[in-house]
């Protein structure tokens, strides 16, 4: 009796430690083995490799752009879910709810600001990330498919931003979406049907608002999350960040026979009819990152090196978004007036290059040229097969490819600048000075 009560008392004393032990499998690591185990056995940490190259940690190599995109997506998800609690996708209520965010919702303004600016930032950062990957030649074999996942993520980012643009139901929103969906209507064969299906009507109205809302808060974030998952998975499976001195680029399937069966497999192995065919749990892996007994000397443990770098980027991202959100308010124009388009009616800045093109020809500017550009981006890694200059910024061997891409970037930036600053009423050329 006394023995038992003593053990219960002991359990009470041990309670906090036992809870902690039940949650965290490993104590804070103090040895290399522990650092490896920490990365390996934690759901959130196992996404990362146990060891990373020093180069991957250098801010000047990746600039953390992919990570910033991810954190912006987290911020957008967080603020977006909160904003949903006060938003109604109705043409009669949406705009009033925007005003309510200012007047009667605690932290309403800062939340909307954060959501808006993080969305703008995400479009920019995802694009810059794409530029980084291009200029370091990181899309080459075996990373072709992941490059295309990235292109899809860029499009999904644009679509998310575009669908969100309508939701405040102000003049800016209404006319930007009117113009944007009309561009979709120029697509050959399916254009008209696509536009009708997107709007749920022939013009932008209640149906369009509801459809864009559902796309914005459910469909696109889900697809985006799935693609982000595949993107990260492929980074690992394609051998981590592109390295300059990677001697072996072709993925090699290595089947490692195991001399002594692993206990987990023992039962299964003994049940097998052919005991000679045994594979370790990780027997089928790509050769590029099997590091048994030959650890790259230029690598460090992810715990804590990578983790600290990531936390630093996270803090920087949050600080940046907060700072901008405190300094600048998200725009909200007058409520929708179907009779009077603002003059000029401008799309969000990242579509102004497109709108500038569209002012010359609706089909070629809105469908033809962007379609060709997209096709080139998708096909690029399958036709640029050179193995030179991978993992280095502006490698001399890749001067042609880099020049072409730089031209593509500059042209689009110039178009955006013209559309933003040099276009006035009736889309006439005006000088901002």
Q: Which is nearer to other proteins, 127 or 175 (CB)?
A: 175
Interface segment toward other proteins; rule CB under 8 A; list 69-77, 158-166, 171-179, 216-224 = 171-179
Q: Which is nearer to other proteins, 65 or 204 (CB)?
A: 204
Interface segment toward other proteins; rule CB under 8 A; list 16-24, 60-68, 105-113, 178-186 = 178-186
Q: Which residues contact 26 (CB under 8 A, 6 or more apart)?
A: 34, 37, 38, 41, 42
DSSP 141: T
Please choose, from the candidates 277, 276, 156, 266, the residue with its C-alpha nearest in 3D space to the C-alpha of residue 222: 156
DSSP 429: B
Q: Is 91 in the site for other proteins (CB under 8 A)?
A: no
Q: Which is nearer to other proteins, 10 or 361 (CB)?
A: 361
Window 185 to 204, contacts with other proteins (CB under 8 A): 185, 193, 196-197, 200-203
Q: How far apart are CB 347 and other proteins at their closest, in Å?
A: 10
Burial group, residue 44, by CB count within 10 angstroms (0-12, 13-18, 19+): exposed
Q: How far apart are CB 314 and other proteins at their closest, in Å?
A: 38
Interface segment toward other proteins; rule CB under 8 A; list 66-74, 112-120, 335-343, 409-417 = 335-343
- For the record, the structure tokens of 288 come out as 């590029």
- Counts for the chain of helices (H) and strands (E), in that order: 18, 4
Q: How far apart are CB 329 and other proteins at their closest, in Å?
A: 26
Single residue of 182, 280, 329, 420 touching other proteins by CB under 8 A: 182
CA distance 57 to 299: 10
Interface segment toward other proteins; rule CB under 8 A; list 126-134, 222-230, 376-384, 421-429 = 421-429
Q: Which is nearer to other proteins, 197 or 375 (CB)?
A: 197
Q: Is 179 in the site for other proteins (CB under 8 A)?
A: yes
Q: How far is CA 296 from CA 50, 59, 141, 291, in A?
A: 12, 20, 21, 8
CA distance 101 to 83: 9
Q: Give the helix/strand (H/E) hosting 366.
A: none
Single residue of 138, 181, 288, 402 touching other proteins by CB under 8 A: 181
Q: Applying CB under 8 A, what is the total number of residues that bind other proteins?
A: 37
Q: Which is nearer to other proteins, 65 or 199 (CB)?
A: 199
Q: Is 178 in the site for other proteins (CB under 8 A)?
A: yes
Where residue 89 falls (left for φ over 0; alpha for ψ -120 to 50; beta otherwise) is beta
Please say whether the beta carbons of 324 and 340 come within 8 A.
Answer: no
Q: Which is nearer to other proteins, 193 or 323 (CB)?
A: 193
Q: Which residues contact 380 (CB under 8 A, 6 or more apart)?
A: 139, 147
Q: Which is nearer to other proteins, 27 or 424 (CB)?
A: 424
- For the record, the structure tokens of 107 come out as 């932290």
Q: How far apart are CB 385 and other proteins at their closest, in Å?
A: 34
Please say whether the beta carbons of 98 and 333 come within 8 A.
Answer: no
Window 337 to 396, contacts with other proteins (CB under 8 A): 338-345, 355, 358-363, 365
CA distance 158 to 68: 16
Q: How far apart are CB 177 and other proteins at their closest, in Å?
A: 10
Q: How far apart are CB 274 and other proteins at their closest, in Å?
A: 15
Q: Where along the sequence are the contacts to other proteins (CB under 8 A)?
A: 175, 178-179, 181-183, 185, 193, 196-197, 200-203, 205-207, 338-345, 355, 358-363, 365, 425-428
């Amino acid at each position: 009796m006394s023995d038992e009560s003593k053990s219960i008392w002991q359990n009470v004393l041990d309670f906090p430690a036992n809870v902690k032990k039940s949650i965290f499998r490993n104590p804070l690591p103090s040895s290399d083995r522990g650092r490896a185990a920490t990365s390996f056995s934690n759901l959130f940490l196992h996404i990362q490799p146990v060891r990373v190259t020093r180069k991957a940690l250098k801010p000047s190599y990746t600039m953390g752009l992919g990570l910033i995109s991810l954190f912006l997506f987290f911020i957008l998800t967080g603020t977006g879910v909160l904003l949903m609690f006060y938003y109604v996708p109705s043409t009669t209520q949406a705009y009033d709810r925007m005003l309510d965010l200012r007047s009667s919702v605690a932290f309403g303004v800062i939340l909307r600001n954060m959501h808006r600016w993080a969305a703008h930032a995400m479009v920019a950062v995802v694009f810059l990330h794409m530029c980084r990957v291009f200029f370091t030649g990181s899309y080459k074999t075996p990373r072709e498919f992941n490059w295309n996942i990235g292109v899809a993520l860029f499009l999904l980012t644009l679509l998310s931003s575009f669908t969100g643009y309508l939701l405040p139901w102000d003049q800016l929103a209404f006319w930007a979406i009117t113009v944007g969906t009309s561009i979709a209507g120029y697509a050959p064969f399916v254009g008209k049907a696509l536009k009708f299906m997107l709007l749920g009507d022939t013009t932008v109205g209640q149906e369009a608002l509801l459809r864009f809302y559902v796309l914005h808060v459910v469909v696109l974030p889900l697809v985006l999350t799935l693609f982000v998952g595949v993107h990260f998975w492929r980074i690992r499976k394609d051998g981590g960040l592109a390295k300059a001195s990677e001697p072996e680029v072709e993925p090699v399937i290595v089947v490692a026979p195991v001399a002594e069966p692993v206990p987990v497999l023992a039962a299964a192995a003994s049940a097998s009819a052919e005991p000679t065919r045994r594979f370790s749990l990780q027997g089928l892996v790509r050769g590029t990152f099997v590091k048994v007994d030959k650890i790259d000397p230029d690598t460090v443990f992810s715990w804590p090196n990578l983790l600290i770098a990531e936390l630093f980027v996270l803090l920087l991202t949050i600080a940046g978004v907060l700072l901008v959100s405190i300094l600048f308010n998200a725009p909200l124009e007058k409520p929708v007036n179907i009779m009077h388009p603002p003059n000029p009616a401008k799309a969000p800045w990242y579509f102004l290059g497109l709108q500038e093109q569209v002012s010359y020809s609706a089909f070629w500017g809105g469908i033809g040229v962007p379609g060709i550009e997209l096709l080139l981006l998708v096909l690029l890694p399958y036709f640029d097969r050179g193995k030179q200059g991978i993992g280095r910024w502006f490698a001399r061997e890749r001067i042609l490819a880099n020049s072409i891409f730089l031209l593509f970037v500059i042209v689009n930036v110039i178009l955006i600048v013209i559309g933003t600053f040099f276009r006035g009423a009736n889309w006439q050329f005006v000088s901002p000075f």
